[in-house]
Amino acid sequence: MAEPAHDQAGDTRPARQILSDSDISRVIDRIAHQILEKTRGAAETVLLGIPTRGVPLASRLAERIAAFEGATIPHGALDVTLYRDDLRIRGARALGPTDVPADGVDGRRVILVDDVLYSGRTVRAALNALYDLGRPSQVQLAVLVDRGHRQLPIRADYVGKNIPTAASENVSVHLKEHDGTDEVLLSGGAA
């Protein structure tokens, strides 16, 4: 979510694939195992994906956790648009879906799920949105890619892949649910 996908005009280098289709499935499997391990079977845990691409990631994680452990883990979507700190600068944008599982977040461990962790501003907005919903007992963060360049004291509990990048580079996450393919691309940067 931190960086919308798709190449920008003026790119000087062709996009490189950082994660392939099968890499992404392996990474999701690994995060699912880590969640089970770290949360002792994912009891009292809710996965909330941050639109757009955090939502299918949360859904896939829930599906893998169910497959490994036979446990159903509630999952949903948490839109942070109305909590963003750049609305004045960038203007209004269409809202994403918000869909919180019926039992809510009170007293539960909430794992926020996003595709890319970058400045940390999206996660900041998500934390504020979450605390307007209720009072979780604990909040964790799972991301597919951590590309660095944090502007806030935020770190992920589960990271699919750390990718050192330049600020001028662009990380694009493509997921089958939205883009037809699974892959992570790195593009741009100085020539």
Partner 1 sequence: MNRHLLSAADLDRDTATLILDTARGMAAAMTGREVRKLPTLRGRTVVNLFYEDSTRTRVSFEAAAKRLSADVVTFSAKGSSVSKGESLKDTALTLQAMGADAVVVRHSASGAPHRLTEWLDGSVVNAGDGTHEHPTQALLDAYTIRERMGRLEGLRVAIVGDVLHSRVARSNVHLLTTFGADVTLVAPPTLLPVGVTDWPVDVSYDLDGVLPKVDVVMMLRVQRERMNDSFFPSAREYSRRYGLDTARMARLPGEAIVMHPGPMIRGMEIAAEVADSARSVIVDQVANGVLVRMAVLYLLLSGEKGSMA
Residue 34 token pair:
């880590």
Q: Which is nearer to partner 1, 7 or 85 (CB)?
A: 85
Are 126 and 105 spatial neighbours (Cβ–Cβ below 8 Å)?
no
Are 109 and 136 spatial neighbours (Cβ–Cβ below 8 Å)?
yes
Smallest distance, partner 1 to C-beta of residue 75, A: 16
Nearest-10 crossing angle of helices 54-69, 21-38: 60
Smallest distance, partner 1 to C-beta of residue 133, A: 6
Measured distance CA(105)–CA(102) in Å, rounded: 9
Q: Which is nearer to partner 1, 66 or 82 (CB)?
A: 82
Q: Which is nearer to partner 1, 91 or 180 (CB)?
A: 91
Smallest distance, partner 1 to C-beta of residue 186, A: 30
Pairing type for strands 109-117 and 45-49 reads parallel
Q: Which is nearer to partner 1, 40 or 90 (CB)?
A: 90
Please tell me whether residue 106 adopts helix, strand or coil conformation.
coil
Pairing type for strands 169-174 and 138-146 reads unpaired
Smallest distance, partner 1 to C-beta of residue 174, A: 24
Smallest distance, partner 1 to C-beta of residue 79, A: 6
Measured distance CA(26)–CA(138) in Å, rounded: 26
Residues of this chain that interact with partner 1 (CB under 8 A) are 79, 81-83, 87-100, 104, 128, 131-135
Q: Which is nearer to partner 1, 40 or 132 (CB)?
A: 132
